Structure 1
Amino acid sequence: MDKYQHRRHNKNLLMVHLIFVTKYRKKILFGNFNNDIKQYIFDACQERHWYIKRMESDKDHIHILLQYNPTDSVKNIVSLLKQKSTYLAWKEYSNMLKKYYWKERTLWSDGYFAASIGMVSQTTIEQYIKNQG
């Protein structure tokens, strides 16, 4: 199977490692709530033709390895995933979440971690470019 995305005017393989942390590092990602949060993120990605290669969580944060389109910025991807998962979580689990976030309808901390990943090392790319022409 081809790992590249084929579009009308490009062929690409853009991947990013994302980490979202729960607000105040509350240890709430477990059981059905954890499974549903992952499903909300998965569904949002599917709607936009982003592909989750791997997603796992600990009690207070979630890791996502995501393949995305060149027309999407990482900042916008993060914003959309956090907003949608927060909205759906509060819609379904408001009684539970009120115990942890009694003043605001929040789920994730304001920041995030993002690192682009490649299928080859920086050294390999530098050597390839150096040997052109």
Structure 2
Amino acid sequence: MSQSLVKNYVHIIFSTKHRNDFIDESIEEELFAYISTICKNLNSPSIRIGGTDNHIHILLTLSPKYALMKVIQEIKAHSSRWIKTKGRKYEDFFWQDGYGAFSVSQKHIFATINYIINQREHHKNEDFKTEFLMILNKYETNYDEKYLWD
């Protein structure tokens, strides 16, 4: 084959440091648009971005030119610097060190989009820890819980 053909959908999840509530509705739209631009610049266009006050979900098509770790590192670094310029309230903003990233099949794209769209409603009944543990278990991911929440 003379060309490389790749299509990888990835659902990325990470929280604010110590799950502090920083991402309120007054800034989320602008933050998500900024992150979308970062993704586009990394040839990994976002399909949907959403979340709540203390965490974010990003569904994107991962570029074959970049490692997933690099894409996430760039998203976190640039968006963290950006949000700190938005006022005193955000001066102490940081993302957590780790992340979750899960492949999504083509047939589950719309379900994942809907899941991300409904984050604020979803989290009226369930906290981030419960949600993240459920996702880890759904994807049969090995983890040690003592390292998840620092």
Instruction: Decide: shared fold, TM above 0.5.
Output: yes
Provide the residue aligned with 2:103 in structure 1: 116
TM-score relative to the length of structure 1 = 0.72
Identify, as 1 or 2, the structure richer in strand. 1
1:97 maps to which of 86, 90, 93: 90
Gaps of 5+ in 2: 109-150
* C-alpha distance in 2 between matches for 1:119 and 1:15: 8
* C-alpha distance in 1 between matches for 2:67 and 2:59: 15
**Which letter does structure 1 place at the counterpart of 2:77?**
Q
**Which letter does structure 2 place at the counterpart of 1:113?**
G
Provide the residue aligned with 1:16 in structure 2: 10
Provide the residue aligned with 2:64 in structure 1: 70
Higher relative contact order (CA 8 A, sep 6+): 1
Matched, 1:50 2:44: yes
- C-alpha displacement of 1:16: 0.8
Provide the residue aligned with 1:37 in structure 2: 31
* C-alpha distance in 2 between matches for 1:118 and 1:57: 21
Identify, as 1 or 2, the structure richer in helix. 2
Deviates more, 1:23-32 or 1:70-79: 23-32
- C-alpha displacement of 1:35: 1.7
Matched, 1:26 2:20: yes
CA RMSD of aligned residues (A): 1.9
SS in 2 for 1:11: coil
**Which letter does structure 2 place at the counterpart of 1:112?**
Y
Provide the residue aligned with 1:127 in structure 2: none
Find the structure with the greater CA-based Rg. Answer: 1
SS in 1 for 2:31: helix
Gaps of 5+ in 1: 1-7, 122-133
TM-score relative to the length of structure 2 = 0.65
SS in 2 for 1:12: coil
